[in-house]
Amino acid sequence: MKKPYHVDLPELMRVYETNYAKLNALLPSMHSAEDVRCYQALRMNYQLEVMEVTKYTTLVKICQSDDVAVFPLPTMSVRLYHDARVAEVCSAEQIHRLKPRYDYPNDSMVQKDEKAQTNRFLGDWLTFCLKHGITRAPINIRDRSSS
């Protein structure tokens, strides 16, 4: 008999903290709602869009945008909690609100630890962006399409 899944809260909080630091390295220091930053890592384009700014939080939409998408590209919403200095994935792809744990199997075939996996994926994605030539200046998409 399998043991039931339990959220490893200390590990999840470490992921949230490191994601907060990585994401802050990519966002402008003084950001406001509707700010958009586009970056290029290798030959892939990433877009960070500030959706909402409140006194203690910022909601950011993150997506990969390529000229010709061969497969569905990842998109997620991430909330940064500035007082706690953590960043948590709130929604990803077709999941509008990630739960800490899911029963498995389920109708959507969501993994038991989908939230933890998605937050680790965000961390890997941000590390990739930071390691592989993220540009600090926004990429002007109009210039790129005219070349």
Mean pLDDT of 92-106: 69
Is 147 inside any structural domain?
A: no
Q: Domain range for residue 45?
A: 32-93+105-134
Is a pLDDT exceeding 80 seen at residue 97?
no
pTM passes above 0.75: yes
What is the rounded CA–CA span in Å between residue 141 and residue 47? 11
| pLDDT of res. 6 | 76
Is 13 inside any structural domain?
A: no
Residue 99 contacts residue 7 (beta carbons within 8 Å):
no
Is 6 inside any structural domain?
A: no
Structure tokens at 81: 């909690």
Is 78 inside any structural domain?
A: yes
Residue 40 contacts residue 135 (beta carbons within 8 Å):
yes
How many structural domains compose the chain?
1
Is 56 inside any structural domain?
A: yes
